[in-house]
Amino acid sequence: MSEQQPEALKPLKTWSHLAGNRRRPSEYEVVSTNLHYFTDNPERPWELDSNLPMQTWYKKYCFDSPLKHDDWNAFRDPDQLVYRTYNLLQDGQESYVQGLFDQLNDRGHDQMLTREWVETLARVYTPARYLFHALQMGSVYIHQIAPASTITNCATYETADHLRWLTHTAYRTRELANCYPDVGFGERERDVWENDPAWQGFRELIEKALTAWDWGEAFTVINLVTKPAVEEALLQQLGSFAQSEGDTLLGLLAQAQKRDAERHRRWSSALVKMALEKEGNREVLQKWVAKWEPLADKAIEAYCSALPDGERAVVEAKSASRYVRQMMGL
């Protein structure tokens, strides 16, 4: 009598790319992984005429990027956010921020600010909505051209966060305008952004960053160079000085936005770690960092010099932004 052969395990009834896990896929895996159909055929990404501009754009700036990996779809967001959980998370965050606005306004917060600090805000804070909007544009480009849907999702939530930062700034601009109608809040921000020396470094950096078409370079200049510079100069240094000037609202708002920035750094770090698994990628990333870092340093120097105790702020912001990359292995 022959021995009975063990019954072969039947594949789970699930999406084919998840069947090999031999477990029920998580919500994150179901709604986030392997969703880009344009990656199925790199020669004709959108199943259109291979000579169409959109086709050649993706072939050049996505598939022919010098940043290579055998399987970008293996990337996973460390926070495993999906649209549902992102909204739950940020609903709580926005409730907190709105509570700050309401509570401190009821206490007459803005009326207690010194005239000197109010004029400082008109120069170094309210024009930031242009910078945050440009960061949003940079993140949404990464979302659009990334070679894996899990990367796209991270960039999508980052884009939404930058829009939230922008709206917070616009809201505060209106409140300050109501309290100090003679300072020019809501009227002078574009002129300050385009002409004030404090902003010209960041303006040059972000405007040039938006012309980095290669998906890997776009990720590098936005997430590894520009965002650390912005976050350390504005959220950390400006936020800290705001607290010392009695501007509790701006200090707490900056702290709330830094929580978003920390999450952005987590997924960026995970993507860099994955990229460094492939030989040659370290040199590619370091080359891009070396290209863009001088502009970031220049931006920090110009901006932080306009803050109280600007010399110390410059040193601390530059050091902290470099430390972000060092912790990622770059």
Domain boundary among 63, 86, 118: 63
Phi/psi of residue 194, each to 5°?
-85, -20
Mean pLDDT computed over 194-215: 98
Q: How many CA atoms lie within 13 A of 147 on its CB side?
A: 29
Phi/psi of residue 312, each to 5°?
-65, -40
220 and 305 co-located in one domain? yes
166 and 269 co-located in one domain? yes
298 and 172 co-located in one domain? yes
Six token digits for residue 270: 């995970």
167 and 24 co-located in one domain? no
* pLDDT, position 6: 56
* pLDDT, position 268: 98
* pLDDT, position 4: 59
Reply yes or no on whether the pLDDT at 8 is more than 80.
no
Reply yes or no on whether the pLDDT at 326 is more than 70.
yes
- pLDDT tens-digit map of 206-259: 999 999 999 999 999 999 999 999 999 999 999 999 999 999 999 999 999 999
24 and 125 co-located in one domain? no
* Domain count along the chain: 2
* pLDDT, position 146: 96
267 and 306 co-located in one domain? yes
Reply yes or no on whether the pLDDT at 14 is more than 70.
no
Reply yes or no on whether the pLDDT at 74 is more than 80.
yes
Which candidate, 59, 51, 52, places its Cα nearest to that of 213?
59
Measured CA to CA, the distance from residue 13 to residue 64 in angstroms comes to: 35
Whole domain around residue 254: which residue ranges? 72-327
CATH code at position 101: 1.10.620.20
* pLDDT, position 1: 47
DSSP for 157-169 reads HHHHHHHHHHHHH
130 and 99 co-located in one domain? yes
The pLDDT confidence band at residue 45, using thresholds 50, 70 and 90, is confident
Give percent helix, percent strand, percent coil of the chain, each to the nearest 5: 70, 0, 30
46 and 78 co-located in one domain? no
DSSP for 16-76 reads GGGGGG-SPPPHHHHHHSS--GGGS-TTSTTSS-TTSHHHHHHIIIIIT-SS--S-GGG--
The answer to whether residue 6 is domain-embedded is no
What average pLDDT does the structure give for the chain?
92
- Residue 127 or residue 4, greater confidence: 127
Where is average pLDDT lowest: 22-36, 91-105, 191-205? 22-36
Mean pLDDT computed over 293-309: 97
pTM for this entry: 0.91
Reply yes or no on whether the pLDDT at 9 is more than 80.
no
150 and 256 co-located in one domain? yes
The answer to whether residue 107 is domain-embedded is yes
The answer to whether residue 243 is domain-embedded is yes
